[in-house]
């Protein structure tokens, strides 16, 4: 198979999101989308039903249908769709005949949906036009309709709001806080609890609080001001407790931490599961005394049942990635707690919807989303688990991808550094999104360095105040380990990464001469410039604190690749999306210019209509991969490597 055909196969993958059970627990609903879209077009998605009898499409677009939510009382479904106005998601109700009807008038675009307990109303979270999506959603500007001239940044009147829609009449009312922007919420009988901030940008999310809002008065009560970031609100069935996850996280959507519990009567906060499970991402109440959890565990996933005192009643761990994205581990459970469902993928196995009874060992696949890719991707690489030690003796783990047909001699090896850094390479179908490199004949090393999720909270915070310090030493030690094992040719090394991985790639280019080639994707070249140009507050944490404090600013300067260029020599290709608001394109432009100024071979490819990380348009994704592979082949490969 040619590399072009392999890239086309990867671009043809389909993904499921928003998994949920029907009331009876014998069917699963999901939104199904393609990995990529055509140039300048939205990525369509449809609502499907999956059960033991097969699969059935329930919605037909024509744009994107997402966020399916079944009624707690009957067989009605609601979902969000931008079929009437591309880019603006409104609420739709699916009737018994399969017809979708618009309900309510929401001024923003819907990002989440909750049914009231009696099934009479819906509460939605909607973002105003002009805000930005986070890094896990490409970090592009939320917009629909005519272009804004001039584009206002920031517009202090916009935020994320809560609205209630009465289904019988379609009456819509704003019920959320008047001066806060809401990031997540769950319902109470008389209102909601929410993760909220006064600042509506991603900077606000990093500093958000837990609040309670009364829907009638819209009065806000602050419940908890955290030290770190928050995710996964879940109110107990009796309304007395709020479960949530708190942890350091570099990006909205990457929180993996301790189960925290807030007593809604006394206001007391406890951490009942500490030292038992500290990498949780999702929580669901099974009863008022038992919780279902799922999260990361090293390179795999863990899920199970926990009691209120933090005791683990039952849990299972798998060397697989379970969840609708690589960012959040999630296993959905039916209302009666007897069935579970997830999107499951592992090395050699593409993502599919699977389900099983609670204590069964094996999953049953109930979708056929990506079976076509199995036959297309002949020559899937060997995936090896590696352990090594950092220079201080810290035990580290990662993956090594070895081409299916390879020479017995050491191979040219690409070090692919993941982003975040609140993330990790896992046992997935496309580990670290590095499969194309292995299919092109390279060995690929995926190091999980200190600061990653899956190894506990202490491990996750080890790089705070030390960017590109001990974590970069961890990566270099892992490279030495690959060379010592005889897999990698130490004279033919390449380095690449996206986002924070792009930052560490730039650091490698600036401070070492070890690599023959580099590809820097959606990268950071200066903590200082990126902090003041981007839409989030990540730099104020990774550098040890606010950059308004001199000590933290010194770290930001000392650990900025642009400001620490030590006679660079590595040919470097920069890949960036023009609309990226997480790591703005100026980060690539200025480092590219600095290398060219010093006579270093460099190229810069900027893709229109693209944001942060993986590109959405099929042609862009394939073109960017062909450029990356060609760059490494030009500067690293020799004829003795078997491809």
254-263, 275-284, 509-518 — which is least confidently predicted?
275-284
Confidence (pLDDT) at 41: 79
| Three-state secondary-structure class, residue 516 | coil
| Three-state secondary-structure class, residue 306 | strand
Are residues 519 and 569 in contact, defined by beta-carbon separation less than 8 angstroms? no
Interval 60-85 mean pLDDT: 95
Residue 432 CB neighbour total at 10 angstroms: 28
Interval 355-378 mean pLDDT: 91
Name every residue whose Cβ is closer than 8 Å to that of residue 423 and which is 6 or more positions away in sequence.
250, 254, 326, 327, 452, 453
Are residues 613 and 522 in contact, defined by beta-carbon separation less than 8 angstroms? yes
Across all residues in the chain, what is the average pLDDT?
Answer: 94
Q: What is the pTM of this model?
A: 0.96
pLDDT at 641 over 80: no
Confidence (pLDDT) at 432: 95
Where are the domains positioned within the chain? Answer: 383-636
Site of tokens 């499951």:
344
pLDDT at 94 over 70: yes
Confidence of residue 638 (pLDDT cuts 50, 70, 90): low
Cross-sheet strand order for the sheet of 160-166:
109-115, 121-127, 160-166, 172-174
For the record, the structure tokens of 576 come out as: 């960036």
Residue 576's DSSP bridge partners are 606
pLDDT digits (tens, 9 = 90+) for 471-522: 999 999 999 999 999 999 999 999 999 999 999 999 999 999 999 999 999 9
Write down the H helix ranges in 55-165.
none
Percent share of the chain, pLDDT over 70: 99
Confidence (pLDDT) at 643: 28
14-28, 32-46, 65-79, 442-456 — which is least confidently predicted?
32-46
Are residues 523 and 591 in contact, defined by beta-carbon separation less than 8 angstroms? yes
pLDDT at 1 over 80: no
pLDDT digits (tens, 9 = 90+) for 310-335: 899 999 999 999 999 889 999 999 99
For the record, the structure tokens of 420 come out as: 């975040």
Confidence (pLDDT) at 154: 66
Name every residue whose Cβ is closer than 8 Å to that of residue 61 and which is 6 or more positions away in sequence.
44, 45, 46, 81, 83
Confidence of residue 274 (pLDDT cuts 50, 70, 90): confident
Residue 158 half-sphere exposure, CB side, CA atoms within 13 Å?
Answer: 19
133-142, 350-359, 600-609 — which is least confidently predicted?
133-142
Confidence (pLDDT) at 170: 94
Interval 600-612 mean pLDDT: 97
Confidence (pLDDT) at 640: 42
pLDDT at 642 over 70: no
For the record, the structure tokens of 432 come out as: 């670290």
pLDDT digits (tens, 9 = 90+) for 397-445: 999 999 998 888 999 999 999 999 999 999 999 999 999 999 999 999 9
Write the CATH number of the domain with boundaries 383-636: 3.40.50.1820
For the record, the structure tokens of 356 come out as: 């099983």
């Amino acid at each position: 198979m040619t590399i072009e055909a392999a890239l086309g196969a990867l671009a043809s993958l389909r993904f499921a999101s928003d998994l949920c059970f029907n009331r009876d627990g014998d069917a699963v609903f999901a939104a199904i989308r393609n990995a990529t879209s055509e140039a300048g077009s939205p990525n369509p998605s449809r609502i499907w039903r999956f059960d033991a009898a097969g699969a059935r499409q329930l919605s037909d677009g024509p744009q994107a249908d997402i966020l399916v939510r079944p009624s707690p009382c009957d067989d009605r479904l609601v979902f969000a769709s931008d079929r009437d106005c591309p880019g603006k998601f409104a609420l739709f109700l699916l009737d018994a005949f399969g017809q979708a009807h618009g309900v309510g008038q929401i001024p923003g675009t819907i990002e989440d949906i909750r049914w009231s307990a009696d099934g009479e109303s819906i509460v939605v979270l909607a973002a105003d036009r002009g805000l930005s999506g986070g890094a896990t959603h490409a970090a592009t500007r939320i917009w629909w309709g005519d272009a804004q001239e001039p584009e206002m940044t920031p517009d202090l009147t916009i935020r994320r709001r809560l609205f209630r829609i009465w289904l019988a009449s379609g009456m819509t009312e704003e019920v959320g806080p008047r001066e806060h922007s809401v990031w997540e919420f769950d319902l109470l009988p008389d209102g909601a609890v929410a993760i909220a901030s006064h600042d509506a940008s991603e900077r606000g999310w990093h500093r958000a609080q837990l609040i309670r809002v009364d829907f009638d008065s819209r009065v806000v009560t602050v419940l908890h001001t955290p030290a770190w970031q928050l995710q996964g609100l879940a109110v107990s069935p009796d309304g007395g407790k709020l479960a949530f996850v708190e942890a350091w996280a570099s990006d909205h959507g990457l929180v993996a931490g301790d189960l925290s519990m807030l007593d809604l009567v006394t206001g007391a906060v406890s951490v009942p599961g500490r030292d038992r499970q500290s990498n949780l991402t999702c929580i669901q109440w099974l009863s008022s005394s038992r919780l279902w959890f799922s999260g990361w565990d090293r390179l795999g996933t863990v899920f199970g049942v926990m009691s209120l005192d933090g005791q683990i009643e039952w849990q299972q761990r798998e060397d697989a990635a379970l969840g609708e994205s690589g960012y959040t581990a999630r296993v959905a459970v039916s209302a009666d707690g007897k069935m579970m469902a997830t999107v499951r993928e592992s090395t050699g196995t593409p993502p599919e919807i699977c389900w099983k009874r609670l204590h069964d060992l094996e999953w049953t696949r109930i979708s056929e989303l990506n079976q076509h890719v199995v036959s297309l991707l002949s020559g899937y690489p060997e995936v090896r688990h590696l352990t090594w030690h950092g220079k201080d003796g810290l035990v580290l783990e990662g993956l090594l991808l070895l081409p299916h047909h390879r020479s017995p001699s050491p191979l040219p090896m690409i070090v692919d550094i993941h982003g975040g850094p609140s993330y990790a390479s896992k046992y997935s179908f496309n580990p670290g999104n590095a499969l194309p490199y292995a299919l092109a004949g390279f060995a690929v090393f995926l190091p999980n360095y200190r600061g990653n999720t899956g190894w506990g909270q202490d491990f996750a915070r080890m790089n705070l105040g030390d960017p590109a310090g001990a974590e970069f030493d961890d990566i270099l030690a892992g490279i030495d380990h690959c060379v010592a094992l005889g897999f990698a040719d130490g004279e033919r090394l390449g380095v690449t990464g996206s986002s924070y991985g792009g930052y560490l790639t730039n650091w490698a280019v600036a401070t070492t001469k070890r690599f023959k080639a580099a590809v820097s994707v959606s990268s950071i070249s200066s903590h200082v410039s990126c902090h003041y140009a981007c839409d989030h507050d990540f730099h104020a944490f990774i550098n040890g604190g606010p950059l308004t404090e001199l000590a933290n600013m010194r770290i930001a300067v000392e650990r900025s690749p642009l400001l620490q260029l030590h006679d660079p020599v590595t040919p470097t290709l920069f890949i960036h999306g023009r609309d990226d608001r997480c790591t703005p394109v100026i980060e690539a432009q200025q480092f590219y210019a600095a290398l060219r100024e010093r006579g270093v071979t460099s190229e810069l490819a900027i893709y229109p209509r693209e944001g942060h990380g993986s590109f959405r348009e099929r042609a862009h994704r394939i073109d960017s991969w062909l450029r990356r592979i060609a760059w490494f082949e030009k500067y690293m490969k020799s004829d003795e490597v078997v491809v």
